[in-house]
């Protein structure tokens, strides 16, 4: 199997797509075909553990990797030393027709771990396959969750290093503590005096700077990125859609071939896109419900067929979905455009120049036969946390609650009672103060720091606090670098010991 760029160019192997991240023409790598998974294969998944399920799905895409290599990578990524729940991505039943797929049992308590535990291993293998002898130096700008997940994934992976930039005053206390206490001998964390956009712009400039590439090259390193447009992050996410279906079969909630909906809290469109890829591979998916917070650019897109970034950016209590440009949507657009890279280029140009583009009536109708979009504001998100806890004794984090609320609206509007899986992307303890406000009222969280809020949440709900949160308070701070926003290159070189 080879990989094309959504903008028309390139034909590369899987390992090259992983190593490069973005195609040279600015497009995203997409598989040349979608390999089919038969019903028989899906029923075989029922008896396998998660790592084995991952190997079975990933080997269909990673053709220039041996099965032994993939298996070693998935065993390492999804072992019990990494994921607290031996099922890795357990499925919990909420009611007659609704389940929750929990993707937050990894080291950083958010779904980013599902991909970022595996990507570094695929990256190291890809480097070897392509004769890359230099160390692969990963640079990441983070608004919170991705940074820590990347650090934990790349920590001590031979042949790689990971450098994360975060906005000095732009992340939560827990997120900051998670990052600056990271261990390992190849991890670097740098605070930027600026906001997330400054950090992100700075990293993009580093990637396009020839002199910086030379400096880094002189130290025996080559740059790469671990952001969510890398196919190596997308592929591991396809696995849990199959895994959830296999678990539904196993529990006899459905019969082979029965359609299932997935309802996904969405930001960059990576998670839900993997569900669409699973559908293209033969998984019986009926509808993919795209849940957004007040930053509802995708809701509007699914309602009108027009993508427009002419809107205000809101900070919400589901910060990992605070986003205006959903990069991975380009991969769906590519299929909607019948794989016409030229058309994608036109749309992306319009987006850049005018802030919007329209896909046209016919393509829009095709898209909404697969997807439905809903959005939820903070007030309804808090109410949803309370409703699910009181009604179903299930504690949701704010991102998951956005999806929970979207599903209610979808069902009210369509009457569709297809069994539905809500994809849960974070532990409630990652956002303890807001979850506490949701279940017990705003006054209960007032004046509490993240640790006190976690303790109060545990006391009130009986849902055990993950070890990672408890331990965080006592871990030593290992990273203290701070830099001006126009001095990021020098800061990286300092970290690299130049
Ligand atoms: C990243 C993230 C999301 C959004 O996922 P996308 O793949 O960007 O759509 C949702 N919830 C949490 C907790 C996240 O960290």
Atom of ligand 1 minimally distant from the CA of 149: 15
**Nearest CA, atom 2, ligand 1:** 320
Q: State residue 489's pLDDT score.
A: 96
- CA 84 to chain centroid, in Å, comes to 19
User: Locate tokens 């009108």: which residue?
Assistant: 304
In a domain, 60, yes or no: no
Q: Measured from the CB, is residue 110 less than 6 Å from ligand 1?
A: yes
Task: Among 431, 451, 484, give the residue marking a domain's end.
Answer: 431
In whole angstroms, give the CA distance from residue 406 to residue 408: 5
Q: Which of 103, 425, 427 maximizes ligand 1 atoms within 8 Å of its Cβ, making it the mutation to test the pocket?
A: 425
pLDDT digit string (tens) for 315-343?
Answer: 899 988 988 888 899 999 999 999 999 99
419 and 439, same structural domain? no
Using the 8-state DSSP alphabet, how is residue 466 labeled?
P
Q: State residue 290's pLDDT score.
A: 98
245 and 325, same structural domain? yes
- What CATH number has the domain bearing residue 275? 3.40.50.1100
pLDDT digit string (tens) for 180-222?
Answer: 999 999 999 999 998 887 888 898 889 889 999 999 999 999 9
Q: State residue 186's pLDDT score.
A: 96
Give the Å distance between the CA of 103 and the centre of ligand 1.
Answer: 11
- CA 342 to chain centroid, in Å, comes to 28
In a domain, 272, yes or no: yes
Q: Strand pairing partners for 289?
A: 263, 372
Domain region containing 453? 432-465
- CA 23 to chain centroid, in Å, comes to 20
**Is residue 154 packed enough to be buried (19+ CB in 10 Å), middle (13-18) or exposed (0-12)?**
buried
Number of domains present in the structure of the chain: 2
Give the Å distances, CA to CA, from 473 to 174, 176, 182, 267: 9, 12, 13, 29
- CA 400 to chain centroid, in Å, comes to 13
455 and 339, same structural domain? no
226-250 burial, b at 16+ Cβ within 10 Å, e below that, comes to: bbbbbbbbbbbbbbbbbbbbbbbbe
445 and 327, same structural domain? no
Q: State residue 61's pLDDT score.
A: 98
Q: State residue 104's pLDDT score.
A: 97
In a domain, 193, yes or no: no
Give the Å distances, CA to CA, from 437 to 170, 232, 320, 401, 449: 21, 37, 19, 13, 13
Other residues' Cβ atoms within 10 Å of the Cβ of residue 449: 12
Q: Strand pairing partners for 148?
A: none
Q: State residue 498's pLDDT score.
A: 64
Strands (E), 56-104: 91-95, 98-102
Q: Measured from the CB, is residue 228 less than 6 Å from ligand 1?
A: yes
Q: State residue 59's pLDDT score.
A: 98
Q: Is the full-model pTM beyond 0.85?
A: yes
Q: Which of 232, 215, 233, 231 is nearest to 223 (CA)?
A: 215
459 and 427, same structural domain? no
Give the Å distance between the CA of 393 and the centre of ligand 1.
Answer: 24
Half-sphere exposure of 17 (CA within 13 A, CB side): 31
In a domain, 437, yes or no: yes
Give the Å distance between the CA of 435 and the centre of ligand 1.
Answer: 17
pLDDT digit string (tens) for 265-321?
Answer: 999 999 999 999 999 999 999 999 999 999 999 999 999 999 999 999 898 999 889
Q: State residue 323's pLDDT score.
A: 85
> Chain-wide mean pLDDT for the chain?
95
In a domain, 227, yes or no: no
In a domain, 495, yes or no: no
pLDDT tens digit at each of 498 positions of the chain: 999 999 998 799 999 999 988 888 889 999 999 999 999 999 999 999 999 999 999 999 999 999 999 999 999 999 989 999 999 999 999 999 999 999 999 999 999 999 999 999 999 999 999 999 999 999 999 877 899 999 999 999 999 999 999 999 778 888 899 999 999 999 999 999 988 878 888 988 898 899 999 999 999 999 988 888 899 999 999 999 999 999 999 999 999 999 999 999 999 999 999 999 999 999 999 999 999 999 999 999 999 999 999 999 898 999 889 888 888 999 999 999 999 999 999 999 999 899 999 999 999 999 999 999 999 999 999 999 999 999 999 999 999 999 999 999 999 999 999 999 999 999 999 999 999 999 999 999 999 999 999 999 999 999 999 999 999 989 999 999 999 999 999 999 999 986
411 and 449, same structural domain? no
Other residues' Cβ atoms within 10 Å of the Cβ of residue 340: 14
337 and 245, same structural domain? yes
Give the Å distance between the CA of 265 and the centre of ligand 1.
Answer: 7
441 and 336, same structural domain? no
DSSP letter string, 306-361: EEE--S-----SSGGG--S--TTHHHHHHHHTTT-HHHHHHHHHHHHHHSEEE--H
446 and 406, same structural domain? no
Q: State residue 376's pLDDT score.
A: 98
255 and 238, same structural domain? yes
In whole angstroms, give the CA distance from residue 164 to residue 107: 17
Q: Which of 28, 102, 103, 110 maximizes ligand 1 atoms within 8 Å of its Cβ, making it the mutation to test the pocket?
A: 110
Q: Measured from the CB, is residue 322 less than 6 Å from ligand 1?
A: no
In whole angstroms, give the CA distance from residue 97 to residue 318: 25
Q: Measured from the CB, is residue 161 less than 6 Å from ligand 1?
A: no
In a domain, 185, yes or no: no
443 and 347, same structural domain? no
Give the Å distances, CA to CA, from 492 to 155, 202, 203, 239: 17, 11, 10, 35
CA dihedral of 294, 299, 300, 301, whole degrees rounded to 10: 140
In a domain, 287, yes or no: yes
298 and 261, same structural domain? yes
Q: Measured from the CB, is residue 147 less than 6 Å from ligand 1?
A: no
Q: Measured from the CB, is residue 288 less than 6 Å from ligand 1?
A: no
In whole angstroms, give the CA distance from residue 137 to residue 144: 20
Q: Is residue 360 within 8 Å of residue 388, measured between CB atoms?
A: no
Q: Is residue 262 within 8 Å of residue 103, measured between CB atoms?
A: no
């Amino acid at each position: 199997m080879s990989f094309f760029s959504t903008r028309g160019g390139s034909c590369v192997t899987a390992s090259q797509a992983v190593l490069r991240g973005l195609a040279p023409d600015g497009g995203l790598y997409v598989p040349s075909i979608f390999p089919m998974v038969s019903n028989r294969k899906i029923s075989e998944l029922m008896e396998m553990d998660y790592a084995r399920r991952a190997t079975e799905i990933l080997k269909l895409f990673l053709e220039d990797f041996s099965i032994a290599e993939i298996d070693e990578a998935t065993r390492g990524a999804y072992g019990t030393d990494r994921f607290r729940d031996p099922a890795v991505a357990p499925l919990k039943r909420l009611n007659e027709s609704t389940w929750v797929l929990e993707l937050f049992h990894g080291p950083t308590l958010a779904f980013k771990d599902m991909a970022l535990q595996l990507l570094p291993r695929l990256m190291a293998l890809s480097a070897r396959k392509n004769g890359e002898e230099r160390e692969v130096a990963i640079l990441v700008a983070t608004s919170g969750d991705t940074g820590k997940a990347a650090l934990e994934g790349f920590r001590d992976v031979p042949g790689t290093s990971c450098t994360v930039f975060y906005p000095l005053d732009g992340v939560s206390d827990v997120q900051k503590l998670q990052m600056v206490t990271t261990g390992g001998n190849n991890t670097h964390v740098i605070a930027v005096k600026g906001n997330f956009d400054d950090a992100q712009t700075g990293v993009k400039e580093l990637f396009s700077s020839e002199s910086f590439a030379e400096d880094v090259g002189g130290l025996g390193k080559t740059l790469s990125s671990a952001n969510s447009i890398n196919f190596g992050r997308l592929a591991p996410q396809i696995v849990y859609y199959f895994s959830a279906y296999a678990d539904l079969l196993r529990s006899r909630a459905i019969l082979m071939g029965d359609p299932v909906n997935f309802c996904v809290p969405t930001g960059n469109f990576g998670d839900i896109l993997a569900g669409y890829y699973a559908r293209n591979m033969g998984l019986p998916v009926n509808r993919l419900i795209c849940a957004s917070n007040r930053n509802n650019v995708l809701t509007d897109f699914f309602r009108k067929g027009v993508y427009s970034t002419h809107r205000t950016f809101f900070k919400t209590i589901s910060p990992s979905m605070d986003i205006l440009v959903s990069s991975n949507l380009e991969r769906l657009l590519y299929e909607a455009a019948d794989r016409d890279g030229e058309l994608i280029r036109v749309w992306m140009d319009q987006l850049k120049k005018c802030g919007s583009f329209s896909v046209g009536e016919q393509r829009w109708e095709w898209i909404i036969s697969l997807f439905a979009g809903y959005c939820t504001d903070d007030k309804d998100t808090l109410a949803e946390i309370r409703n699910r806890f009181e009604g179903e004794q299930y504690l949701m984090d704010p991102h998951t609650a956005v999806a929970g609320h979207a599903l209610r609206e979808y069902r009210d509007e369509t009457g569709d009672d297809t069994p539905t899986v809500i994809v849960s992307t974070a532990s409630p303890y990652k956002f303890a103060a807001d979850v506490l406000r949701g279940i017990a009222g705003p006054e209960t969280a007032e004046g509490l720091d993240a640790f006190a809020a976690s303790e109060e949440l545990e006391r009130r709900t009986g849902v055990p606090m993950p070890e990672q949160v408890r331990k965080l308070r006592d871990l030593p701070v290992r990273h203290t670098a701070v830099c001006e926003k126009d001095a990021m290159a020098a800061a990286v070189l300092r970290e690299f010991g130049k």
